[in-house]
Amino acid sequence: MPIYEYECMKCHKVHEVIQKFSEEPLKNCPVCGGELKKLISKSSFILKGSGWYVTDYARKNNSGNGSSNSNTNSKKSEEKST
């Protein structure tokens, strides 16, 4: 269930409430009874699985780059010797 934030227009307190999508938004402050305004806040989410993190990409690139670097280095050494 999502967490919604409401701010009271009278006492200016911010309330976090866990509500279902189907529930009606709150209208009155539980502290002072004033009118509540629903706030828009940043949502958080977690990316799970491989490929979402920088380290996942780095591992794939390092293994590929390591072999290409050795080929490049051997070509450079051959050019210097000729």
Question: Residue 75: its pLDDT value, please?
Answer: 52
34 lies in some domain? yes
Q: CA 57 to CA 44: how far, in whole Å?
A: 23
Question: Residue 78: its pLDDT value, please?
Answer: 54
Total domain count, the chain: 1
Reduced DSSP (H G I as helix, E B as strand, rest coil) percent helix, strand, coil of the chain, to 5: 35, 20, 45
Which of these, 21, 24, 25, lies nearest to 39 by C-alpha position?
Answer: 25
32 lies in some domain? yes
Full residue range of the structural domain in which residue 30 is found: 3-39
Of the CA atoms within 13 Å of residue 20, those in its CB half-sphere come to 2
Q: Which residues of the chain have pLDDT under 70?
A: 49-82
62 lies in some domain? no
75 lies in some domain? no
Q: Are 5 and 14 in contact (CB under 8 A)?
A: yes
71 lies in some domain? no
Question: Residue 56: its pLDDT value, please?
Answer: 59
61 lies in some domain? no
Question: Residue 81: its pLDDT value, please?
Answer: 53
74 lies in some domain? no
